[in-house]
């Protein structure tokens, strides 16, 4: 087994509890290895810091698997990791649909597994974990069977561009016998049809589960605008809570078709309506037409996926929040979020404040929330904390 030796003074995040070692933190690599192999990690003075898998094609050179230098990385080790992840979900969330494995935050770096009813969807983002994905899935299926849960099929959605940074090809396909990949799930009492083959990421965004539930109490008998509605998730939560009128906007024709089908599935097609529109263009048009809403929801895609693009992202978040605030009735509510890791909590709050000042609105914070517990935030692993969600009451300046 090769040994990675850190430079003196490096590995600060690792020592605080992080999971990654970057290429510029390494002094020497002693011994032979192939990319994806498990290596030992030592500090500059020879102190053992654990084991991880290496890939010299990635700037994240080593992803840690254990902090115990004598720990064997074998099937028994994986069984313990997967069992801990599953037990945690059973304790913290509704497991009918949930994220079962969340990469580094579950100490299985680079691996995501989502459960949609009786189907698992796997996303492998790192070379080292890619070698273990089949064994991990088998372990998980076995654990669920012991709990009386029969998994009918497993599908892989490793078709995200981040794999290229690991020197991996994009891939999607069955990891089990073929099955119907349109899967119905129920979340917060709302029925959805999840297309695990063509849907975004693994087919459905599970991280907003309890944020969607939080807006239900705001929406009874209210007029609601849901921006970047995707599959209609927030809009349908508003509808099932008894909203009198809901409009959902999204630029994707495919997403709007899915949203309309989901509205019908829940018997909400008379009160929840969707249309294709560019939200940034549509909000000023709605204001010019004199539209006002009791609740406005802003759930945009990540405006930045790199630190370098953060400045432009701030402009985007400021603009949509400013225009969204203008559409909220005095005493109404704004629910707004960012799913970008690089848009930090402090920066996002600052940007919303600037938007409110520009729109001449005052904000009373009702709730601050993050991603649902099945996407746990591992402290010192900043990449695991990405979703910020706030609910404000909006009042006129007086």
DSSP letter, residue 11? -
Q: How many helices (H) and strands (E) does the chain have?
A: 10, 20
pLDDT at 398: 65
Is the separation of the CB atoms in 118 and 150 below 8 Å?
A: yes
Domains detected in the chain = 3-66 (2.30.130.10), 75-184 (3.30.750.80), 207-396 (3.40.50.150)
By the 8 A CB rule, do 387 and 368 touch?
Answer: no
Question: Which tens digit of pLDDT belongs to each residue from 190-213?
Answer: 999 999 999 888 989 999 999 999
* Kind plus residue range of the DSSP H or E element containing 255: helix 253-265
How much is the pLDDT for 62?
97
State the pLDDT at residue 310. Answer: 77
Q: Which pLDDT score is estimated for 376?
A: 97
* pTM of the entire predicted model: 0.94
Query: What are the two backbone dihedrals, phi and then psi, of residue 381, each rounded to the nearest 5 degrees?
Result: -110, 80
For position 107, what pLDDT does the model report? 96
Angle at the Cα of 332 from the Cα atoms of 216 and 250, rounded to 5 degrees: 65
Rounded-to-10 torsion of CA 121, 126, 127, 130: -20
Regions in the chain scoring below 50 on pLDDT: none
pLDDT at 306: 63
Enclosing H/E stretch for 333: strand 328-338
What is the per-residue pLDDT for 304?
63
Question: Which of 123, 119, 117 is CA-nearest to residue 101?
Answer: 123
Handedness of CA 18, 19, 22, 23 (dihedral sign): positive
Out of 97, 98, 219, 339, pick the active-site residue: 339
Q: Establish whether 339 is a catalytic residue.
A: yes
């Amino acid at each position: 087994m090769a040994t990675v030796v850190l430079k003196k003074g490096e590995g600060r995040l690792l020592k605080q509890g992080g999971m990654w070692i970057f290429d510029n933190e390494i002094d020497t690599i002693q011994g032979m290895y192939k990319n994806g192999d498990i290596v030992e990690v030592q500090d500059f003075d020879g102190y053992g810091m654990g084991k991880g898998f290496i890939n010299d094609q990635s700037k994240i050179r080593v992803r840690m698997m254990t902090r115990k230098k004598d720990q064997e990385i074998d099937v028994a080790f994986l069984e313990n990791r997967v069992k801990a992840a599953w037990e945690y979900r059973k304790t913290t969330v509704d497991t009918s649909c949930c994220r079962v494995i969340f990469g580094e935050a579950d100490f299985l770096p680079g691996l995501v597994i989502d459960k949609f009813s009786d189907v698992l969807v796997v996303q492998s983002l790192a070379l080292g974990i890619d070698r273990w994905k089949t064994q991990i899935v088998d372990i998980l299926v076995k654990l669920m069977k012991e709990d009386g849960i029969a998994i009918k099929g497993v599908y892989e959605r490793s078709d995200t561009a981040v794999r290229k940074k690991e020197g991996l090809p994009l891939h999607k396909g069955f990891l089990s016998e073929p099955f119907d990949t349109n899967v119905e799930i129920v979340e917060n009492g709302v029925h959805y049809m999840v297309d695990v083959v063509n849907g975004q990421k693994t087919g459905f965004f599970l991280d907003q589960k309890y944020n969607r539930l939080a807006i239900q109490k705001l929406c009874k008998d209210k007029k609601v605008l849901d921006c970047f509605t995707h599959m209609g998730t927030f809009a349908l939560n508003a509808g099932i809570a008894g909203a009198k009128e809901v409009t959902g906007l999204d630029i994707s024709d495919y997403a709007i078709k899915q949203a309309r089908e989901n509205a019908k599935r829940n018997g909400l097609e008379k009160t929840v309506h969707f249309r294709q529109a560019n939200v940034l263009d549509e909000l000023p048009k709605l204001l010019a037409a004199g539209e006002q809403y009791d609740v406005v929801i802003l759930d945009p895609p990540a405006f930045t996926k790199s630190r370098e693009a953060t400045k432009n992202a701030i402009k985007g978040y400021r603009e949509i929040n400013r225009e969204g605030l203008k559409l909220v009735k005095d005493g109404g509510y704004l629910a707004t979020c960012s799913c970008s890791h690089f848009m930090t909590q402090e920066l996002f709050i600052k940007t919303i404040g600037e938007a409110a000042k520009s729109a001449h609105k005052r904000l009373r914070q009702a709730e601050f929330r993050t991603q649902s517990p099945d996407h746990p935030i591992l402290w010192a692993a900043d990449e695991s904390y990405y979703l910020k969600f706030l609910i404000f009451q909006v009042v006129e300046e007086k």
